[in-house]
Amino acid sequence: MLVILSSGRSGTNILLECFTKNSYYIPTTYPEDKELTKRNIEYPQKYLCKADTHYISNYQEFFDFMVKNQHCEILWSVRHPYDWCLSKLYRGRPTKSRGYKIADDATVDGCVEDLTKMYNIYKQAIIDFPLRILVVKMEDLLTDIEKEVKKICNWLGIIYEKEMSTPHLRMRHKGKKERYKTIDKSQIGLYKDIDTIYDGYFSKRKKTVDKLFNSEIVQTLIKEFKYETNL
- Say if 117 falls within a structural domain: yes
Task: Give helix 12-19 / helix 145-156 axis angle, nearest 10°.
Answer: 70
Of 156-160, 176-180, 219-223, the one with minimum mean pLDDT is 176-180
Phi, psi for residue 51 in degrees, rounded to 5: -145, 155
Q: What is the pLDDT of residue 227?
A: 98
Provide the pLDDT for residue 99.
78
Task: Please indicate, yes or no, if residue 59 is contained in any of the structural domains.
Answer: yes
pLDDT by residue (tens digit) across 96-116?
777 789 999 999 999 999 999
Give per-residue pLDDT as tens, 116-153.
999 999 999 999 999 999 999 999 999 999 999 999 99
**DSSP H or E stretch at residue 208:** helix 206-213
Q: In degrees rounded to 5, what are phi and psi of residue 191? A: -60, -20
Q: What is the pLDDT of residue 97?
A: 75
Predicted confidence (pLDDT) at residue 177 exceeds the cutoff of 70:
no
Q: Which of 73-82, 165-174, 185-194 has the lowest mean pLDDT?
A: 165-174
What is the DSSP secondary-structure string of 46-57?
A: TEEEEEEGGG--
How many helices and strands in the chain, by DSSP H and E? 10, 5
pTM of the model: 0.94
Over residues 198-210, the pLDDT tens digits come to 999 999 999 999 9
How many structural domains comprise the chain?
1
Whether residue 231 is contained in a domain is answered as no
Domain limits for position 78: 2-224
176, part of any domain: yes
Residue 230 is assigned to a structural domain of this protein: no
Structural domain includes residue 90: yes
pLDDT band at 29 (very low <50, low <70, confident <90, very high): very high
Domain for residue 143, yes or no?
yes
| Beta pairing class for 26-32 and 47-52 | parallel
- What is the CATH classification number for the domain harbouring 73? 3.40.50.300
Assigned domain for 60 exists: yes
